[in-house]
Amino acid sequence: MKFLKLYFLVSFVGSFLLNANAQDTLPNFSVQDLGKDKVLISWNNPFPNCVQIAVQRSFDSTRFFTTIYSAQSPNLPQNGFADIKMPAGLKPFYRIFYVLEGGKYFFSKSKTVSPYIKSAAINNPSNNLPKKTTDSREIDNRTIITPTEKEPTKEPIKQPEKKVEKPVEEKYFINIYKRTKDTLYAQIESKLYKQFRDSIIQKTKDTLYTLAANEILLKPFIPKPIWKPSAYLFTNNADEISIKLGNTKLNKYSIKFFEEDGTELFTIKHVKESELILDKSNFLHAGWFVFELYENDKLKERNKFYVPKLF
């Protein structure tokens, strides 16, 4: 029996979504009472770049919203969700939270159920028949029709106008994580987040990812290092370590050599020749090495070079 109820409910939701005219376009959406504590929430999505859509419910029109459904395909043009676990006796309010590519996110205005009521004239055809406006009586075999007295017109009672309270802007904080969710970078008030987001997008190459409604991941841009061979110390075409300096008689040159991890190997304190070949046997293995070239005790260049296989 439960399976049949669920089947008919799913069939109804499917047929409802086929009618695009019955839905509102985001940020608007439709809320319809299906009866028996079931509510249908549906919408048209004009954003093909939508990456997240969630339906949120509260029993207060402005606060305490919680997510009850997240769309698996948020970029579908038409979609909907049937809330079949609504607590009985409570008036629910719904809103839609959606996120677009690039990190922009939006909250719709909250709505409550709007039941669908069929016209009484359709259910009761007799309502369409004209009402009698005259009465009749027979006199001398003749039927005399006289107009009936009109009932006094009753003016409709004016209902007091309901004051529409402006929704109070929800205040909350957004957590900004850097690189991973394990590193909290900052907490920003929601109304200030747009300014922070725009400054990141316009002034940096960093990337923002939306993890949840109040969680953002910041990934700094890391440029790929571009290595440029040195003109003073390099591996020549014969796989030899070649050193070419300026005038060694006017300037004092010294060179420090390091492993790639920064471990110091050895130092040539005074290079007296402007051109020389350094024996590969001075290095313990093939691979990358780092050097620092000093001219008159001032750092002239820090670079790296590659030592090919020794044998």
Helix H or strand E encompassing 201: helix 190-203
Give yes or no: residues 262 and 184 share one domain: no
Give yes or no: residues 179 and 244 share one domain: no
Q: What is the pLDDT of residue 151?
A: 53
CATH code for the domain of 35: 2.60.40.10
pLDDT digits (tens, 9 = 90+) for 151-188: 556 666 777 777 666 665 566 788 899 888 788 888 88
Angstrom distance (rounded) from CA 139 to CA 253: 141
Comparing CA positions, the residue from 246, 245, 239, 256 lying closest to residue 303 is 256
Assigned domain for 168 exists: no
Entry pTM: 0.34
Please give the C-alpha separations between residue 93 and each of 17, 252, 297, in angstroms, as whole numbers: 21, 81, 75
pLDDT digits (tens, 9 = 90+) for 114-153: 654 443 333 444 444 444 444 444 434 444 444 444 555 6
Angstrom distance (rounded) from CA 7 to CA 32: 19
Give yes or no: residues 202 and 273 share one domain: no
Assigned domain for 177 exists: yes
pLDDT digits (tens, 9 = 90+) for 198-254: 988 888 888 988 988 889 998 888 877 788 899 999 998 888 899 999 898 999 999
Give yes or no: residues 207 and 237 share one domain: no
CATH code for the domain of 238: 2.60.40
Q: What contacts 171, CB < 8 A, 6 or more positions away?
A: 189, 190, 191
With tokens 């003749």, the residue in question is: 142
Average pLDDT over residues 22-39: 82
Computed on alpha carbons and rounded to an integer, the radius of gyration of the chain in Å comes to: 40
Assigned domain for 276 exists: yes
- Quick check: 175 and 184 in contact, CB under 8 A? yes
Its domain, for residue 257, covers 233-307
> Across all residues in the chain, what is the average pLDDT?
78
Q: 258: exposed, middle or buried (C-beta count within 10 Å: 0-12, 13-18, 19+)? A: middle
Give yes or no: residues 207 and 272 share one domain: no
Q: What is the pLDDT of residue 120?
A: 37
Last residue of a domain, one of 66, 91, 112: 112
Average pLDDT over residues 75-102: 86
Give yes or no: residues 243 and 214 share one domain: no
Q: 85: exposed, middle or buried (C-beta count within 10 Å: 0-12, 13-18, 19+)? A: exposed
Assigned domain for 89 exists: yes
Assigned domain for 150 exists: no
Assigned domain for 45 exists: yes
Assigned domain for 51 exists: yes
Assigned domain for 30 exists: yes
Sign of CA dihedral 279, 284, 285, 291: negative
Give yes or no: residues 186 and 104 share one domain: no
Average pLDDT over residues 14-40: 72
Give yes or no: residues 215 and 266 share one domain: no
The total domain count for the chain is: 3
287 Ramachandran zone, left/alpha/beta (phi>0; psi -120 to 50): left
Phi, psi of 200 (to 5 degrees): -65, -45
